[in-house]
Amino acid sequence: MIAAVAVLCAALAVRAQAQVLLPEDRQPIPGKPRVQGVPGQGARIRQDDARLSRLIGATTAAQEEPIPWTAERLAGVVPDPAVTALVRGLSALEWAERTDATTRLLDRAIPDEQVWVHLRTGGLPPEAHARLLHVGQERLVHAPRGALGIQMAGRFEENDGVVVTGLVPGMPAQKVLKPGDRIVSIEGQRIQVSTQLTAIVQARRPGDRIAMIVMRGERDELGRVKGGPDGKPVETRVDLQVELGSREDLDRLGDGNAINDAPAVEAQARLRALRLATDFPVPVAVLPVEALAGERPDVDSHPDIVRLKETLANAERSGFSRGLGPILQAQLRQLEAQARVPTLEPAEREWWRAVVERFRELMPPDLREQPPAGAAPRSEAP
């Protein structure tokens, strides 16, 4: 019996794509309480951890931007002839030329919109498409991130906000903030923990301007913060506009105590890169081969199956699967649609059905699309 085996024309590009999406060296580090052995401390820490998770989740959701490669968003984007020439270079006969075009398309001088509009235009050979998709994913995962250039401490007693304990020379914060300032709001979002501030700032690009509300302590002639009748510092509200610097500048100018990348922001970038691959899947060439009668086609080499396994393994390691369900459901629907293409040969249809079955088999039940109450069970691909 004839089965079908998927052969990706740009295996190297897809392997690099999987490495971009699923690094093994980026895993969240569990927080450790500073105080131990205090009665009731464990329960309080668990409550604080849960509260922090809710805060970060809400902050991350607030930072999510619309998908930038939709037809509506690209309606006014005109392809740049120079970028079009580079995209054509992805189909050059010489490997070196194709690799050079790929590298040049990663140049940040080229706007992201030019990559999106050429992906949406389509019509590229499989390898060229895979290379351009890889470029887009690299741009998403390694997009420049904003930075203030501050060192922070936790909340001061019962007050919200984070306290600035130090400023990195040469970074934007040095021009507008002072040690001791308490940042209570950024872009209208109330700041309660330092990780929340980091997520908001890193979700923006260098050069973006952000509105910030700071509570600044009043000082006497000796520079000491004044205390009020209740013993608390006397503070004045200060409204600021700050132009963000870059994470790269912070690494270069910092003293080693700079803030780490926000895990939620990084995870979102990787989910968005996965969404890009779902919206613009790499074409797959199908070649018939002989298989033993009654043998189930081996579909684990299909790019979508490989990517699904790696994605689920990464989600299990990091504990971050928020937003993954709809993306995987969309991929499954695409595979089901492919299995229903009328022009498929019988062997090809059998193989695509096996891909659909294997994909559905690997998906965790909680990530599968749930049918409406009372609806008939979803039928297999015909």
Per the rule left: phi > 0, alpha: psi between -120 and 50, beta: everything else, 207 is left
Residue 150, both tokens? 């501050």
Comparing 167-181, 224-238, 245-259, 260-274, the range with the smallest average pLDDT is 245-259
The reported pTM is 0.58
Phi, psi dihedral angles at 368 (to 5 degrees): -80, 155
More confident residue, 371 or 270: 270
pLDDT digits (tens, 9 = 90+) for 55-95: 444 444 445 567 888 888 888 899 999 999 999 999 999 99
Tell me the three state secondary structure of residue 105: helix
More confident residue, 96 or 223: 96
Comparing 137-141, 184-188, 217-221, 286-290, the range with the smallest average pLDDT is 286-290
What sections of 280-323 are H helices per DSSP? Answer: 303-318
**Using CA atoms, how far apart are residues 88 and 90, in angstroms rounded to an integer?**
5
Q: Which long-range contacts does 10-15 make (Cβ < 8 Å, 24+ apart)?
A: 10/126, 10/127, 10/129, 10/130, 10/131, 10/282, 13/127, 13/130, 13/131, 13/133, 13/134, 14/130, 14/282, 14/303, 14/306
Residue 226 has pLDDT above 50, yes or no: yes
Q: How far is CA 265 from CA 143, 195, 201, 202, 277, in A?
A: 11, 11, 10, 7, 19
- Confidence at residue 345, expressed as pLDDT on a 0 to 100 scale: 84
pLDDT digits (tens, 9 = 90+) for 262-316: 677 778 888 888 899 888 988 766 555 555 566 667 888 888 888 888 888 877 7
Structural contact between residues 52 and 194, judged by C-beta atoms closer than 8 angstroms: no
* pLDDT-above-70 percentage for the chain: 70
Q: Which domains does the chain have, with CATH numbers?
A: 2-23+67-142+264-367 (no CATH), 146-253 (2.30.42.10)
**Using CA atoms, how far apart are residues 289 and 284, in angstroms rounded to an integer?**
16
pLDDT digits (tens, 9 = 90+) for 14-37: 333 444 443 333 333 333 333 333
Residue 88, both tokens? 């054509």
- Confidence at residue 90, expressed as pLDDT on a 0 to 100 scale: 94
- Confidence at residue 139, expressed as pLDDT on a 0 to 100 scale: 92
**Using CA atoms, how far apart are residues 320 and 298, in angstroms rounded to an integer?**
30
